[in-house]
Structure 1
Amino acid sequence: MTRHEGDLERTFAALPPAHGRGFAQTWWGQAWLKALEETALDSGQLKAGRRLARAGAVGAVSVRPGRITAVVQDADRAAHRADVLLEELTAEQWDRFLDMAVERAGHVAALLDRKMPPHLVEDAAATGIELLPGMGDLEPECGCDAWDHCGHTAALCYQVARLLDQDPFVLLLMRGRGEDDLLNALQARSAAPTAGGPEPARREGVDAAEAYATGDILPPLPALPELPAEPGVPPSLDTETSAASGVEPAALEFLAARTATEAHRLLAQALRTGPEEHVAEAELTPGQDAVRLAAGSPADDVAERLADGSGRGREGLATAVRAWHLGGVAALVVLDEEWTVQGETHARACAALESAWDEEERPSLREQGNRWTVVGAPGQLRLGRDGRWWPYREERGRWVPAGAPTRDPATALAAALQAAEEERP
């Protein structure tokens, strides 16, 4: 492709034949084809043009404001110069186009990044500017002496669809503005304070404390939203498109559903406590988050991935999920962490154990770290850092959570021994 005369003429090299593929792959190319085929009067000439363009019979295409030109060869190798004229936009229409683009920040950003957003057509049409050709807008001139569109001019129009795939700014050039000219005008207009108006007077800032003090003159904030009855339902990923390598749709659907459930829980908590009372929760570690997800009853293949990813294995993850249901993160910490109880904390723990039972009923306990195991029975007490006692029972050689925590060690141990008794065959 070459450029001439300050971007007001561009020449595109001849494109190869388009056997076995569509003429247009992008939105802009397809939009041009749709406009062409919907406004054509002679479907026979369109078919002839498609055959010539598909066979690679269209030579280099020159694009200038209001005109596109190429040499097109017939099946018998006879060459004809074909021109198609398209009316240029007036200066007033270009002003309106630029005003419309500046009013929409997304259009400005895309155009200055040399991208043509598809919505540009609709937004321009809303201001009375048609970028794509309408009925009778494409005026033909051909060396074959046809008085209307012929196969040669139709082939040229089809080839333009492929050029728009390469660069949609070609359409704006046909309407009268080169790419650089357009972008410079758009950039200048975006930088101006107002279109044609005087520059506003510079204003001094306001002290932050003063602005905050006048906040009572602002309208009240809207009421908090009502809590939905249940979590939202994520979109289904059951489509005809195959997933990319390494992506499991079932796992993604499960994650989306759990995210919706967690969002519903957080919203319920925020609405219940009020924003001034809400305390932000500590961020979960990857291992803790894997347990949270596993607590949502995932499918077997997802549960297998969580077990492997967490490093716990299936049995260890099941135990962690049981702990999560009993006390969330705090229960997981008690499950995984063994720490040495010292000083005043140890003295309070021993006093609680001493006073929990009468002397003749007090069980024999073996202390190790923050864990007191009943001698000769499948029960254990674990002391959390917050001073609560967690009941544990022995199951197939492993200690597993047996109930919710309590401040009374006797109550906790009774729950542990009762759970062990119920599990006994």
Structure 2
Amino acid sequence: MAAVRVVPGRITAYVHGSRPRPYRAELRLPVLSDEAWEGFLDAVCDRPDLVAALLDGGIPRAVADRAARAGAPLPPEPGELRPACTCPDRGRMCKHTAALGYAVAGLLDVEPFALLLARGRDEESLRDELARRSARPRRPAAPVAAPPRRAAALPARGVYTARERPPLPEPLPIPELPGEPGPFPEVAGGPEPDALAFLAVGAAARAHEALRFAVHPGSTGPAGGRARAEAAPAVDPLPELSLWHDTVRLAATHPDLAGRRSLSPLFAELARAAGRTAPELARAAAAWRQGGPAGLEVLETVWDPPAGDFDRGRSALVGQGLTPVGIHRNHLTHRAGGHQLRYGRDGRWYPYRADPLPAGAEAEEGPAPGDWWPEGPAASDPLTALAALTARTAATGRQ
């Protein structure tokens, strides 16, 4: 599990599961209102011992009890804690959010103020307010008037024409993961806070990708920074996209929409907003993860490639004993093995795998055109693309 991150209203961590990419587990709880915090401060500031304990970094049980009686509960009350995770488990609390809960319990043992931060107040501002309220008022001494002092004149021309200037500081390193938004308020007539958070997470991920691309051109691919088997040409991480293409990009790269068959209500709603079904969007998202806009074009269009690389690719497959190999425009299909390679306009081969045939179907008939699924990274060599496809098939135990 990665480090636990606490922000007002949200506790998150990336938890490793059965897939290479970690899941984003999250625990949400409401932040306390300003009125509740005022009640909390009034309740503890009349007890110097409690103020001293808080300033010392601890939260005694008496503090939590007084806060609850003042309408400012610190530990989550029943029904307040809302778990969420990017894994496909549809249970209320999956094993990844449960693991996050255990980690939070350990964190609170060493950093009790993390609970106050989750409720909406950071440690520094709370300490300052406690110190201010608990300080005894003192009558200020009469100020002694000082004689006016004229500031020394500093000519602007001398500043701007100086030849030697201090060097610029080194830029901050690129964070390993994009940042996360804070809690959004519920406003009457405004958008849903969860919808705003969803879009903000996607925007942060896209900005993070653009930053990586700017610093290391070509090091990030269209699959949201995922490592690829072969380096792809540099792709603009912020291209102009149509509504459908941007929906596919969001479904393929958003941390809350990971997985091939994660047809969650959120995923289905995203598909309906674009006028498509959830399975159509899931298939298009797989193509986007495979090759970005070029991968989606390979999924949605067919074309007639010129003689040359395409013919040599077919000969290479035949040389590996994959016969018969069917040809349909830019598609090479080995139906008996359930494998297909599609040649893209970018000169790369995109591997596809067929879903299992229904019971009673003849193997010679093969899958229907819509049953082919993008699987594995694209490659400039057809045998490399096919090898990655067969390796993934063997690893998942699906033949």
Structure index of larger Rg: 1
TM-score normalised by length of structure 2: 0.44
